[in-house]
Structure 1
Amino acid sequence: MAIVFSRWRKAAFILLCVSLAIVSMGSAAHAQDARWRITKERWSESDEKAWQDFVAALGAADCWTFDQCIKSPANPYRHTDPKTRFYVDCADMPYVLRAYFAWKNGLPFAWQTAMQSADGPGGDIRYSSYGNVVVARDSVPRTANGVSATPILHALVNTVSTAMFRRNALADDPVMFSDTYSPRLDREAIVPGTIAYDVNGHASLVWRVESGGRVLIFSSHPDHSLSRSFLGKEFLRTGPELGSIFQKFRPIEVAGATRASNGALVGGRIVAASNAEIPDFSLEQYQGSPAGDPHRWRSASWVWNGENLDFYTYLRSRLSAGELEYRPVEELSAMMQSLCFDLRSRKQAVEISLGRGIQNISPPSRLPDNIYGTDGVWELYSTPSRDARLKTGFKEMYDLVVEFIKMDMVDAPRLKYDGNDLAGDLLAAYRAQNAACDISYVNSAGRKVELSIDTIIGRLYDLSFDPYQCVERRWGASGAERATCRDGAEKTRWYEAQQYLRNQIDRTYDVDMGYTVEELERGPWGLRTGRGVEEGPEVDIRAYLEGLAPRRTASGEIALPPATP
């Protein structure tokens, strides 16, 4: 039986009167100006290049919600819009942007409207173990006068979820085709507008691939805030049945249409390119290199220029303009800048929740069935998934710094560093970026509290994801800083019981987590218990770098700890 996506969101729609939608603010005259007339049979190479430029400009813009970005100077079509407000979450954004661009350029657009879990009946199509199958499709009608674009964009928002991306990369049905396909892993294929799908329930768009192979992404969230980051290990690589990580929109064309006197295409049907007809279609991200069986993706090897690599290093090597080289000081600076963007985005998300007054509401007696994948107030205003990705980013930065130190010790050729004190230079870069990152919040007494990346690292596992708690706890305050928090005994108890969940950086969407506070307190704790873990991984880069000097041996070499996380 097909499952229509809007069902699981109804509670959130009822709660938030504006909904996750594109809300028309205009008159009938404005609506008449917003006609979607399809004048082109297919997306040409120049259209695809214009799409890439469009996404790249929005990604680089200084805007913090999807609506701000669409209304910003980065959008060349903004002056042709009717009066609208754009509200989208992470899954909606790729579809709505692609549809918006198609509308403005007279291009055809089609989309999946329903999916069925390959797991069998009763499963959650957003987190199905064996992926989903397309069971219904729709497309923009082709008429001489065109159709109003705003209702179509609205329908997309009410239809799309991350289940759209959870499809088998090998599927090739000519009728119930998937909207996206799996691309090659190179600079010609992974371009702005490519989708990055995290099977833990998140979707982003690539907006830049740097010369060093780093992939910059941006995404929207249920609270409508926008974040920018780089693609890292938080995007899990899985088998082809789940569709991770990279996807691109499948080429489509209008067949059998007639052309009206005004140039609009009328009638006809949507035909999609098969996998074999797409020049950059590839199963490389599942097969490995050299190519193997995509179904045996766990044992795939990754060899580049004769060197065995892990997948993420291989990806950077493939996407680098030339040989992959690590410039450690620049790498650390770039990662800290990206994390600063993430923290600024988190600040906006917390402020949206505070603005709705959620912190003044008594919490429910139980957590949601799963804190990472739910609906209603928790979906809109909590931050467990966002915080887990943030923690993963800090851990990845810490691990990379440790790896740079190791590479420097053996004079690894990939490490491009000409100095004689890498730890000192990394520490200087850390301090410079820490000073440059301006983070603050307004406490419950109305006073501004200054933070920094270094401050956040020290309290990373204290940042509360719970929207029912005070702003001080949302930012992990303690001591005098937390004195202005107005939470009572009940919320304090919940905060303390959630410590183990805050320690966890892995998002477990398939684990029951609907516990009472008493059940959280009792334990047991562990990744598969749904109650969290006893300790989070090490992330304190400053302490690590400052501690290297005392660990220098008599010969001047750095004595690394026996086991580095």
Structure 2
Amino acid sequence: SRNVLFNHLGTNEDSLTLSLKPDCADFVYFLRAYFAYKMGLPFAYSNCSRGAGGAPPRCNERFDILHPQLTRPAPPPEQAVASAAAPPAPAPAAAPTNLLQQLFSQPQQVQAGAPAAPAAAPAKPPAPKRPAGVAGYFRAVGDVVHSGSVRAPANSDKSDFYTIPLTQETLRPGTAYADPYGHVMMLVQRIPQTADAAGVFLAVDAEPDGTVTRKRFWRGNFLFANGASLGSPGFKRFRPIMRENGGLRALTNAEIARNPDYGDFSLEQSQLSAEDFYDRMDEVMSPEPLDPTRAMMAAIMALEEQVKTRATAVENGRKFQNGGRGEASMPDGPAIFATSGAWEDFSTPARDLRLLIAIDVVRGFPDRVARRSDRYAMPFGRGLAGVQAQLQSALASELAARTFSYTRSDGSAWTLSLKDVMDRAADLEMGYNPNDCVELRWGASDGSAEAATCTRRAPAAQRAKMTDYRNWFRERHWPHA
């Protein structure tokens, strides 16, 4: 793939090395800010809480690109904002013409021998400093935004996003998806339904370990639940920012609904149950009834992609172990799903809980076809029981045939099938700790040939906490702080 905006401004602006580590919500904001920077468009973001104590996220002050020196407000009590130092940006090669270039251009260096500026009188506290170049601005944005910024309630005009109806027209590239439990993705492509295959929505996301992956829409990747404390999950678009009276202003929900250029604000998703949401998305992706076998194969393929993505994450954890950086500290309680440091980068509790949900979806697919036979093009002359039996047989065969390999602790490869992963679902309930060997994280049983190369276990205190938290995974229940 190629970045079509590379050096778009003609000032060699992409020759700088941007040391950015987008994670989840940061990723969608970075993409938005980068596009705005290149195209000279307005950009803004809000300081939001994460939500706690039964309350949803709440957004407060909004910051915009016209005032780059004002980027880091005092955060709400429950929001931990990390401070990142920005390296100095080099002086521009030519006078900038783009508005954002002007905002971030650096002053010319004082020539040797020039008269020294008079000393400033120490009367007022120093004014806020603008970030050092675009890279510094991106870092400042990343220090403030988080997944709660995208989950803010749909009826709020202060949020950075607004919810949309579920249609093929509104679910276009650039649409963000807010997971109710703290993850964010962005749609990049819709593949229409054909006579041979179901329709597909493709999205991308970023993880703390530095991976950026493509994911297809399905229940295993896109979790959905409505609840007062969760805010508003679902598909959303960035709130339009308008130039007005020499400044920037975000449109309200009512203005978006009335504006002929938008007109797509909707509270539809906030009124849907999880089953209604997924049924509606099935209708949007594939308006025509699906062949049940092909639909099941698509679900198996999605599960396979999810397993292979986890393999990359577990491998990153193995490399962390081999790097001699010591053990990753394990937080307490629900913080295992949202923290910082090595645990955030290399543990997989959120990924594994989603994988367990995905396993349930695939395992129960034949039963779903029986429950929702109206959504499927059932074979002529075949009874429902016969279709179910055929799907069960095809499922078992396909899971056994699809394999992948992971690298064991000694560097050797070990091959597992999707059937192995399904059979080890109970072991994966405690497979997320990066301080355990990779064999244990993949559910290898004690005394087996697979586990013979395991030489590392998480500390006993961490294993005890994992045992206490196991019901969250067994019951597929995401805990709240």
Q: How many residues are aligned here?
A: 389
The alpha carbon displacement at 1:386 in A equals 0.6
Does the CA-based 8 Å contact 1:359-1:470 persist in structure 2? Answer: no
Q: Find runs of 4+ consecutive structure 1 residues off by over 6 angstroms.
A: none
Bigger shift: residues 208-217 or 157-166: 208-217
Match of 1:222 in 2: 208
How far apart are residue 428 of structure 1 and its match? Answer: 3.3
Q: Which SS does the other structure have where 2:335 is aligned?
A: coil
Match of 1:326 in 2: 290
Matched, 1:274 2:252: yes
CA distance in structure 2 between the aligned counterparts of 1:365 and 1:237, rounded to whole angstroms: 29
TM-score, normalising length: structure 1: 0.62
Find 2:343's aligned residue among 369, 375, 378: 378
From the superposition, tell whether residues 197 and 144 of structure 1 become closer, same or farther in structure 2 (CA, over 3 Å): closer
Structure 1 pair 489–385 and aligned structure 2 pair: CA distance change class (3 A): closer
SS of residue in 1 equivalent to 2:337: coil
How far the C-alpha of 1:364 sits from its partner, in A, is 5.3
Task: For 1:157 and 1:144, locate their aligned partners in 2 and report how far apart those are by CA, in whole Å.
Answer: 20
Q: Any residues of structure 2 matched to 1:21-420 within 5 Å, and which?
A: 73-78=1-6, 81-82=14-15, 83-112=17-46, 114-116=47-49, 125-127=50-52, 129-141=54-66, 142=99, 145-147=102-104, 148-172=133-157, 177-210=158-191, 211=193, 212=198, 215-227=201-213, 228-232=215-219, 234-239=223-228, 242-256=231-245, 268-278=246-256, 279-287=263-271, 310-317=276-283, 319-320=284-285, 322-323=287-288, 325-357=289-321, 361-362=326-327, 367=332, 370-405=335-370, 412-418=373-379, 420=382
What whole-Å deviation, never above 9, does each CA across 1:174-232 have from its counterpart, x for those lacking one? Answer: xxx32111111211112222111112111111233453565433311111223424242
Structure 1 match to 2:113: none
Q: Is the 8 A contact 1:126 1:166 kept in 2?
A: no
- Matches of 1:374 and 1:144 in 2, distance apart? 35
Instruction: Work out the percentage of aligned pairs sharing the same amino acid.
Output: 29
How far is 1:242 from its partner?
Answer: 0.7
Once residues 310 and 169 of structure 2 are traced to their aligned partners in structure 1, the CA distance between those partners, rounded to angstroms, is 32
- Counterpart secondary structure, 1:132: coil
Shift of 1:472: 0.7
Across the aligned residues of Structure 1 and Structure 2, the Cα RMSD in angstroms comes to: 3.1
> Counterparts of 1:501 and 1:282 in 2: how far apart (Å)?
33
* Paired amino acid for 1:140: I
How many angstroms apart in 1 are the aligned matches of 2:230 and 2:308?
A: 35
Letter of the 2:102 partner, please give it.
Answer: N
CA contact (8 A) 1:442 1:449 kept: yes
Corresponding letter in the other structure for 2:270: Y
Distance 1:369-1:401 versus aligned 2 partners, 3 A rule: closer
Counterpart residue type for residue 25 of structure 2 = A
Q: Which runs of 5+ in 2 are unaligned?
A: 9-13, 67-98, 105-132, 257-262
Matching residue of 1:448: 413
Q: Retained in 1: the 8 A contact 2:189–2:203?
A: yes
Q: TM-score, normalised by structure 2?
A: 0.72
Gap regions ≥5 residues in structure 1: 1-72, 117-124, 257-267, 289-297, 303-308, 511-565
Deviates more, 1:469-478 or 1:133-142: 133-142
Deviation per CA, 1:484-511: give whole Å up to 9, x if none: 111259559928846555534221133x
Question: Aligned partner of 1:230: which letter?
Answer: F
